[in-house]
Structure 1
Amino acid sequence: MAVVENLRAAGSLSSLLSLKVLALASVLLAGLGLTWLVVDYARMLRLHRKMPPGPIPWPIVGSTFSLPKLKPWYYFEALSKQFDSPVITFWIGRSPTVWINDAKSASEILEKKAAIYSSRPRMVVFAELTEMHQSADPNSKLPGNNLVTMFYGERWRVHRKITHQGVGLQQVRNYRGFQNDESRLVAYDILHDPANFVAYYERYATSVVSIIGFNRRVSSIDNPIITEVIAVMQKAAELNVPGKEFPMLFETFPALSHLPRSWFPWFFKGMSRRRRGQDFFYTLAEEAHKKDPTQTCYANSLFKEQEKYNLGKPDISSLAGNLFGAGSDTSSSTLVTFTLACCAFPEVLPKAWEELDRIVGHHRSPSWEDEAELSYIKAFVKEVFRWRSVAIIGGQPHAPVSDDEWNGYSIPKGTWTQGNVWAIHHNERDFPDPDRFNPERFMKDGRDARPFPNEKGYMTFGWGRRVCSGQGLAEQGTFMTIARMLWAFNIQKALDSQGKEIPVDIFSYSDGLNWRPHPFPCRFTPRSPEIVDAIEREGRQALQDLSMYEGESEAITAFFKRNK
């Protein structure tokens, strides 16, 4: 009996000791956690004092939960004014991000120091969780395979070189012929079916890059390639806008990205289209190459360089996909914005018509050869790029490859550094009354013209070594199409059943990185019978010229059947 009681006492003592050990371990862990929290927050505050001004961050979460749900570029513009600094620091979790809100500072940091700000920061959502890995080291277990997200290095230079073979500034001049023909068809299609103007813009932009990439045009607005490309690009654009909700909370708490994906089914289910897009673009490139490897097109260039540069399937897919990213969704969105501007600001149209009538006349449409003489049309196009830039926060963020300094403030290596194009293009100093569409801003000796840090007068396509690869293609095609649409039509607000104009909202835009106006109705009225005849004649000729690029894609038909 005594033995049993002794065992019971020993057991109780052991349990008591275990509880004490657990309690002590819990206290130690809590103490270590608190110590880590204090040390880490001290690090944040110390760094905060050295960096450009901005809201004081909270421990761990930074200032993330101060973000608005939508369109944070307005918020960063307001913070810049609040702190009286064109460059501000905003903390996403435990990491600082730098936001540049005026043209002068963007030029000083991202253009004049292009060699420093040539890399990318870590992007958990846009790169890691979408399997667009960022390593520039070809020997890495996660080799970089996308120019857009890749850290700066030799592998990035390879991708950039290959991209220039497709859409470099010198190369795009060779595309003027079919780009002009596709532009003629925009006017032709809208003449016959004005209600579907957005679809015709999308078809035009997608078809141009499809010819460049795969020697096959997109002839119908019902082609599923259009909806797939636009959807993939819009999905990508949604994944890089700072936010306080999922999926962007992965940026605030990167450790969450290591948890089982089954815990976040709503996010990864939505990512299926992004991953499907990678297969889609490879399928397009592979089919074009197999059809005729001797043809001159971007897909054949990719496979030609495959062995030399060790291009795997992900590389070819991303390079082909970036071609669409450089010239489809962005170009069509710019044309929709142009149409909205015409409806909202009809007073700018008569001067455009006067110049076009004087230089071009009514018996043919304008072409690239007229560009040098069409000074007001060129200013009009620049104002479209400025007024509602598609890449509203300047595309993907930059990151310095080494510690840097601006105006006495520190910007550490790897810091997420973003140009807020909205704020840059709506700075009252550079662009008085910035929400008014006013091409006179870009006219030589114009009353509203102001000095600007670069020759173009806008920063729509980004900066430095990370400038948009498709800039030349977009500028060339946008000029052609806007000049032709202004020549062809009086673009006006739609009328209601009582014959009254339906107002348009110049602030009604989508929420993603590549924004475009929400749907709105409008009228396209041909400016003269002679112009109608010219549109018809040139449209028929364009169809004949482009017939060499016609053809069905069996691989793509099969792809969509598999992925219904």
Structure 2
Amino acid sequence: MAILQDFSRTGLFDSSNWWSFLIVAGSALVADYVWMLYWRWKMPPGPFPWPIVGNTFSLPNVKPWYHFEQLSKDYKSPIITFWIGRNPTIWVNDAWAADELLVKRAGIYCSRPRMLVFAELGAGQWNLLNMHTVTPAQRERFRVQRKLTHQGVGVQQVQKYRSFQNDENKVVALDLLKTPNKYVEHFERYATSVVSIIGFGRRISKATDPLITEVIAIMHQAAALNVPGKRFPMLLETFPILAKFPNWMAPWKHGLGKSGTPRQGNNDFFYSLAEEANEREQDNYSKLVFKEGPKYGLHPREVSALSGNLLGAGSDTSSSTLITCVLAMRAFPEALSAAYEELDRVVGGSRSPDFTDDLPYMRAFVKEVFRWRSVAIIGGQPHAPIQDDYWNGYLIPKGSWVQGNVWAIHHNEREFPDPDRFNPLRFMNGPDSRPFPGEKGYMTFGWGRRSCSGQYLAEQGTFLSVARLVWGFRVDPAIDETTGKEIPVDIFNYTDGLNWRPRPFKVNFTPRTEEIRDTIAREGEKALQDLAPFEGETKYQFSTFYT
């Protein structure tokens, strides 16, 4: 009571002071809301925002790309504005608008916006994925990292990887003969092994290797978090002031911004892997990074980011694409007849497909795999214009979030009638095809200067993997042992993360012929012999660096 009396004597509980505070706070709130409505009036259409929180709390709990697709239809606009707190996000739900803005105006939309969760509280500006490119100095660092990445997985460089990529894929076919029920593990091992050989000169021979079990788990966790949301931690993007609280009193920051536990004289996990690889006899990308590092003044965190991006982006996405292919083969067997005919005619059963085979239907088949259920379903991290821009008279402010909705783009009835049907004929220049911007016919790998650096490696490997999978196996329904009935699959049962994949489903793999079975076994054993020089171990595990 004495303390309250002291406060009363000092005037802190004086009613006039409280009224002044409320008036100032209320005026600031009104002014801020007027500012939001003013900008909303100039920007593409979208739902009406609330003060401070914007439209955040109207987000669905999962898979918001469906919601943005529907909003685009409701507002009859290929581009809409959705407010995450006080920050407007421009969602591009149309292929032609995406091409006009993110490709043809790539110089404007080359930067990233301010991102708390995956930049300021994570990798910061050391990583190419999050890097701002507003100032000349920022653009120079971006150019350096992009150049070094292209030297590792650019269109010319990836052709040098075809031999071991082909061998690793032959091993997958052999694994499917032995333990077909573990097909997800086989795909993950294959995809991780290819990028590990490229990045670190070491293949991954077992699905239990920590590089798979730990790193892919982290990729899945990151993909689940990196989606616009109304729950923590993504709610920090709505209320950025909460990021100012120290970690010990901010449970909403749990799991973010870990610095890891560096071993003596070294940095983090990916830097340590790269440093170890630099000492290997086998040629690898890490050697290039260490060789070029002094010339470009690379910080250790940049070395870590360059090596980590290669592994993180290549392992999860490639394996998820192959799982989607299996789902399509099971759900749409009618799409396989033309593939079997082409493969039997061109390849036969005494050998498996390779890069030299002329397989136009299979190339269309792979394009449809990329289109039907693209892994990076919202095109990766958002873009941000480095200056104010206009589209059809609407303002797109400098620094705003601009996100391509790959789901909506690839499921637009105008370009892809009956879009949930898996139909490779869309890409055969026949009656089922429709005009689409660009040469590829899909937008799976993003746009402009922020497109996926590893897309050529992914396209090269996916073509060979899918062609060999279709050549080698029938994917038949799994049978319920209790009822004797076929186990159905659900083509919409996908995970909820930024990089999604089908949730577990059962199928039966059967070699198409006995000759093909023998070929798979023979080629697989020979591939293991050819891959022997890449065998090796690492002394590092992700879990020892991060707690």
- TM category, shorter: over 0.9
| Residue number in structure 2 paired with 1:421 | 406
**Over residues 124-156 of structure 1, what are the superposed CA-to-partner deviations in whole Å (9 max), with x where a residue is unaligned?**
1111112x21xxxxxxxxxx2100000121111
| Residue number in structure 2 paired with 1:301 | 288
| Residue number in structure 1 paired with 2:132 | 151
| Residue number in structure 2 paired with 1:363 | 350
Q: Structure 1's 173 and 257: CA in aligned 2 closer, same or farther, altered over 3 A?
A: same
Q: Between Structure 1 and Structure 2, how many residues are aligned?
A: 534
**Over residues 64-121 of structure 1, what are the superposed CA-to-partner deviations in whole Å (9 max), with x where a residue is unaligned?**
0000010000000010011110100000001100000010111111111111000000
Residues 493 and 502, structure 2, Cα contact 8 Å, conserved in 1: yes
Within the candidate set 75, 95, 108, 1:116 is matched to 108
| Residue number in structure 2 paired with 1:290 | 279
Within the candidate set 388, 403, 406, 2:391 is matched to 406
Q: Structure 1's 13 and 303: CA in aligned 2 closer, same or farther, altered over 3 A?
A: closer
Q: Structure 1's 563 and 63: CA in aligned 2 closer, same or farther, altered over 3 A?
A: closer
Q: CA deviation at 1:236?
A: 2.1
Which is higher, the Rg of structure 1 or of structure 2?
A: 1
| Residue number in structure 2 paired with 1:518 | 503
Structure 2 Cα separation of the partners of residues 509 and 218 of structure 1: 27
Q: CA deviation at 1:232?
A: 2.0
Residues 269 and 545, structure 2, Cα contact 8 Å, conserved in 1: no
Within the candidate set 209, 214, 218, 2:195 is matched to 209
Name the amino acid aligned to 1:466: R
Q: CA deviation at 1:344?
A: 0.6
TM-score, normalised to structure 1, is 0.91
Q: CA deviation at 1:209?
A: 0.3
Residues 260 and 546, structure 2, Cα contact 8 Å, conserved in 1: no
Residue 306 of structure 1: SS of its match in structure 2? helix
Residues 61 and 93, structure 1, Cα contact 8 Å, conserved in 2: yes
- 1:134-145 equivalent positions in 2, closer than 5 A: 144-145=125-126
Residue 556 of structure 1: SS of its match in structure 2? coil
1:380 matched to 2:375? The reply is no
- 1:423-438 equivalent positions in 2, closer than 5 A: 423-438=408-423
| Residue number in structure 2 paired with 1:29 | 21
Name the amino acid aligned to 1:458: Y
| Residue number in structure 1 paired with 2:448 | 464
Structure 2 Cα separation of the partners of residues 273 and 17 of structure 1: 48
Name the amino acid aligned to 2:313: A
Structure 2 Cα separation of the partners of residues 191 and 392 of structure 1: 32
Q: CA deviation at 1:521?
A: 0.7
Structure 2 Cα separation of the partners of residues 390 and 16 of structure 1: 62
- 1:46-445 equivalent positions in 2, closer than 5 A: 46-130=38-122, 132-133=123-124, 144-152=125-133, 153-265=139-251, 267-269=253-255, 279-292=268-281, 295-370=282-357, 373-445=358-430
Structure 2 Cα separation of the partners of residues 551 and 13 of structure 1: 75
Q: CA deviation at 1:31?
A: 1.4
Structure 1 Cα separation of the partners of residues 457 and 150 of structure 2: 11
| Residue number in structure 1 paired with 2:474 | 490
Q: Structure 1's 22 and 180: CA in aligned 2 closer, same or farther, altered over 3 A?
A: same
1:38 matched to 2:30? The reply is yes
Q: CA deviation at 1:15?
A: 7.8
1:476 matched to 2:460? The reply is yes
Residue 307 of structure 1: SS of its match in structure 2? helix
Residues 441 and 448, structure 1, Cα contact 8 Å, conserved in 2: yes
Residues 489 and 524, structure 1, Cα contact 8 Å, conserved in 2: yes
Residue 356 of structure 2: SS of its match in structure 1? helix
Structure 1 Cα separation of the partners of residues 292 and 88 of structure 2: 39
Structure 2 Cα separation of the partners of residues 274 and 426 of structure 1: 41
Residue 525 of structure 1: SS of its match in structure 2? strand
Q: CA deviation at 1:314?
A: 1.2
Residue 339 of structure 1: SS of its match in structure 2? helix
**Over residues 302-333 of structure 1, what are the superposed CA-to-partner deviations in whole Å (9 max), with x where a residue is unaligned?**
11122122222211111111001331100000
**Over residues 51-70 of structure 1, what are the superposed CA-to-partner deviations in whole Å (9 max), with x where a residue is unaligned?**
00001111100010000010
Q: CA deviation at 1:240?
A: 2.0
Q: CA deviation at 1:227?
A: 1.2
Residues 213 and 299, structure 1, Cα contact 8 Å, conserved in 2: yes
Structure 2 Cα separation of the partners of residues 412 and 214 of structure 1: 42
Residue 492 of structure 1: SS of its match in structure 2? strand
| Residue number in structure 1 paired with 2:136 | none
Name the amino acid aligned to 1:162: L
Residue 305 of structure 1: SS of its match in structure 2? helix
Q: Which runs of 5+ in 1 are unaligned?
A: 1-11, 134-143
| Residue number in structure 2 paired with 1:556 | 540
Q: CA deviation at 1:533?
A: 1.0
Q: Structure 1's 94 and 496: CA in aligned 2 closer, same or farther, altered over 3 A?
A: same
Name the amino acid aligned to 1:226: I
Q: RMSD of aligned C-alpha atoms?
A: 2.0
Q: CA deviation at 1:261?
A: 1.3
TM-score, normalised to structure 2, is 0.94
Structure 2 Cα separation of the partners of residues 274 and 541 of structure 1: 41
Q: Structure 1's 273 and 308: CA in aligned 2 closer, same or farther, altered over 3 A?
A: closer
Residues 235 and 274, structure 1, Cα contact 8 Å, conserved in 2: no
**Over residues 229-251 of structure 1, what are the superposed CA-to-partner deviations in whole Å (9 max), with x where a residue is unaligned?**
21121222123200111111100
| Residue number in structure 2 paired with 1:4 | none
Residues 238 and 512, structure 1, Cα contact 8 Å, conserved in 2: yes
Name the amino acid aligned to 2:353: P
Structure 2 Cα separation of the partners of residues 92 and 460 of structure 1: 25
Structure 1 Cα separation of the partners of residues 13 and 234 of structure 2: 40
Structure 2 Cα separation of the partners of residues 395 and 86 of structure 1: 19
Structure 2 Cα separation of the partners of residues 309 and 530 of structure 1: 54
* Greater displacement, 184-193 / 17-26: 17-26
Q: CA deviation at 1:271?
A: 6.3
Name the amino acid aligned to 2:291: K
**Over residues 413-434 of structure 1, what are the superposed CA-to-partner deviations in whole Å (9 max), with x where a residue is unaligned?**
0010000000000001110000
